[in-house]
Amino acid sequence: MESRILPKDKIEQFVDALIQDYTVIAPRDERSYGEIASASEWRPDGDRPAQSLKPFFLPERELLVRYAMRSSGIELVEPPSPHGMARVILGAPPCDVAALPVLDLVFQWDDEDSLYLERRESTVIVAMACDEPCTTCFCTSLGGSPAGTEGADLLLTGLDDAYHVAVISERGKALVERYSDLFEESVPERERQRAETQETLLAKMPRQVDIEGLDEALDFDDPVWETLTQQCLDCGICTFLCPTCHCFDIQDEGTPEQGERVRLWDACTFPGYTRAHAGQPRPVHYRRYRQRIMHKFRYYPENFGRTLCVGCGRCIEHCPVNIDLRQVLSLVRTR
């Protein structure tokens, strides 16, 4: 793998140069990522934001089409293409970045979702290896790593006085070449430091979930589901903060004369999600929670070849009633 070194005293210059040329999105505060207007707004050493990168590709509320009644009939106006908006995501941890290729699978499936995919295509991703694992995360159990490169164009790893910059993709390479005067060639000593940093970090991340054969072990008919998460409030926070949950609703906002058709986040944890005139297939909580787990760890792998979870642990960290996905998975499989 090709790599470079970015001295820490050049990082501000790098970020400001990016801001000149791109919309730069970085961890802005503990709540969320956001656009930064100068290098000083970036918190490279701060905690991972509560919200993932998902809203930047699948916004909470997104215009699909605008309609207006004219004398000649209904006029439909499409939202401007997100193409060409040229964004850089900077300093996102590998779990958040790894979630994006997972989402791509469904948004590319047969009918390409242009709104999502054009955002993906116009965004360069500069990931940053974690320096300390969270207490709730378990990415290594799912094949990820605190220094994982899946979905990234560049991966920064913090060394003492510099960042090691692993060049993952052609798009990443183009980015380091564009600002080549800021980067130094890497040397074996730097590679050794990077490897050592990663090993130290990996050693702090025990495997917490046994994923091997989990899909087969998940049994729809197992009575364990019925009492597994009775404390759940069906609040949906786990789905909204999940970087891979992607279920949505489509609604019209406005009057018959004019308005907008929008896509809104939705969640399988809500009764209204499947309630239809014909009936409600998941009328009680445990059926909805079972669907969520089965979808992530059995159905998605069956359809797309990988789990719909990257082990970021946000659902554990933010659950108001302390439901721990790691425990849930081990309970349903040890029966």
Nearer to another protein, 47 or 252 (CB): 252
Q: Name the nearest CA neighbour of 75 among 85, 83, 84, 65.
A: 65
Q: In angstroms, rounded to a whole number, what is the distance separating the alpha carbons of residues 175 and 180?
A: 8
Instruction: Dig out the tokens for 6 from the structure.
Output: 């970015």
d(CA 219, CA 213): 12
Could you say which of 196, 204, 249, 331 contacts another protein (CB under 8 A)?
249
Residue with tokens 């701060």: 46
Binding region for another protein (CB under 8 A) out of 92-100, 113-121, 157-165, 321-329 = 113-121
Q: Which among 98, 50, 43 has a CA at the least distance from the CA of 317? A: 50
Q: Shortest gap between Cβ of 251 and another protein (angstroms)?
A: 6
Region of 25-33, 48-56, 142-150, 272-280 interacting with another protein (CB under 8 A): 272-280
Decide: is 105 part of the binding site for another protein (CB under 8 A).
no
Find the Cα–Cα–Cα–Cα dihedral 23, 119, 137, 287, rounded to 10°: 140
| Radius of gyration for the alpha carbons in the chain, expressed in angstroms and rounded | 22
CA distance 121 to 84: 9
Does 286 participate in binding another protein (rule CB under 8 A)?
A: no
Tokens of 179: 């600002």
Q: Residues 209-238: x/- map of binding to another protein (CB under 8 A)?
A: -----------xx-----------------
d(CA 331, CA 163): 41
Q: Is 246 in the site for another protein (CB under 8 A)?
A: yes
Of 10, 54, 120, 282, the one binding another protein (CB under 8 A) is 282
Which range in 5-13, 149-157, 187-195, 243-251 contacts another protein by CB under 8 A? Answer: 243-251
C-beta atoms surrounding 29 within 10 Å: 13
* 332 touches another protein (CB under 8 A): no
* Nearest CB to another protein, comparing residues 213 and 256: 256
Which stretches of the chain bind another protein, using CB under 8 A? 64-65, 67, 69, 73-74, 76, 78-79, 106-107, 109-115, 117-118, 220-221, 246-252, 254-257, 259, 261, 263, 266, 268, 273-279, 281-282, 287, 291, 294-295, 298-299, 302-303
